[in-house]
Amino acid sequence: MALFSARLSRNMSRLLFRAQVSDMTIGLGTSKQLQTRLRLCQHFSTSKAREGLGQTIIVRLQWANEKYEHFLQERFPNFYILYRTFLNGFQLFFQDAKEVRGIKTRMLANNTDRWTLPYREMEKLRQFRSDMIIAIPLLLISIPPFANYVVFILMYLFPRHLLIRHFWTSQQLVEFQAVYHSHRAHSYRPVMDALMRAVPSIKDGNLQLCLMELCGKVQSGGHPIVSEVHALRTLFVESNLGLKRMYADDMKSLCSLLFLTSHLPSFLIGLRLNSHALELMHLDRALSQLGPNHLSDAEIKQACYVRGMNGYSLSSSQCREWLAQWIQFSIHLRESETSLYLHGMVLLTVNYPQPHQCWLSHRDQGN
């Protein structure tokens, strides 16, 4: 806006100057007219005038924008909600981009590894990377003139599939994440079936019995404690339950827990599962240092959701209770035990907080 007003002032000054020279050349201008035009030229060439003109234009544009929003709110209230959500979404998205740039700048300046970052900064990097995968096509569509109206149509027709959380209303956030979690819940039974199939191949009789009892407890609606899951740690490294030896179909079932595509070669699926599990394990350690009690209610629900629990269906106290249990499970795992971490997203979530009813509902969905 300042650049526009500066160009406008320079053009007006040039125009007045040429008119002044023309009058002097053809002998039709009086000295009084020349003095008046000279004063106008000097007036429009000052910085104060340029600033005043720029402020006037900005005020006019703000007034027109307020009138336009008032018109939409009065005549098209549903479209106005989309319009405001669109504008607020872009503001939040670019605010996140600015924060991420600042984090990465500090990392380069201090030669800092991302695993040593505080929890909120580490989570910001993880979430922004996930958002960018969906947001880039949306940003490209919005570049041409008047293309934002196309975005409005997409927001109205396919908000869950094409837009990121910045462009969702609070009601849509709860609704859509419930839908995604129901898709994730479809993988619970295949994961549990894979654990049961692995029981006969276990050579250690005690571990075989422990795994059978744990699976039986979960399938009957019980919620295991952390020590019961930790007792099976060696199985998820050395046997067919480890990511390096796991069958391809079993790895594809785990992909649904992290919302990852399963349409890749098996070795790539294993690498992606291991990478995402390691990232979450480092996040858990950073969260343990911060303390879950320092998170807001929105942050605690989102933290549960990322780790396999739909926190938006629970109260804040239930979310904090479950997350505290999860941190105790996670921080004692080694980096070679990412398979147990992923299976824990089923074992420690499927029957919480209403064990028997939740497990039966997921089993019925699979039939």
Phi-psi region of 30 (alpha: psi -120 to 50; beta: other; left: phi over 0): beta
Note if the pTM is more than 0.85.
no
Task: Retrieve residue 167's tokens.
Answer: 């462009």
* Residue 246 burial (CB count, 10 A): 24
Query: What pLDDT, in 10s, does the model give residues 279-325?
Result: 999 999 999 999 988 999 999 999 999 999 998 889 999 999 999 99
Which pLDDT belongs to residue 96?
Answer: 93
Which residue do the tokens 């030229």 mark? 41
Domain ranges of the chain: 2-74, 77-167, 185-366
Query: What pLDDT, in 10s, does the model give residues 191-237?
Result: 999 999 999 989 899 999 999 999 999 999 999 999 999 999 999 99
Which pLDDT belongs to residue 18?
Answer: 39
What residue ranges of the chain have pLDDT lower than 50? Answer: 1-38, 40-45, 355-367
How far lies 199's CA from each of 207, 210, 212, in Å? 9, 10, 7
How far apart CA 349 and CA 347 sit, in angstroms, is 6
Q: Is the separation of the CB atoms in 215 and 198 below 8 Å?
A: no
How far apart CA 291 and CA 118 sit, in angstroms, is 11
Per the omega criterion (within 30 degrees of 0), is the bond before 355 cis? no
Tally the residues of the chain.
Answer: 367
Q: Which of 66, 41, 51, 62 is nearest to 4 (CA)?
A: 51
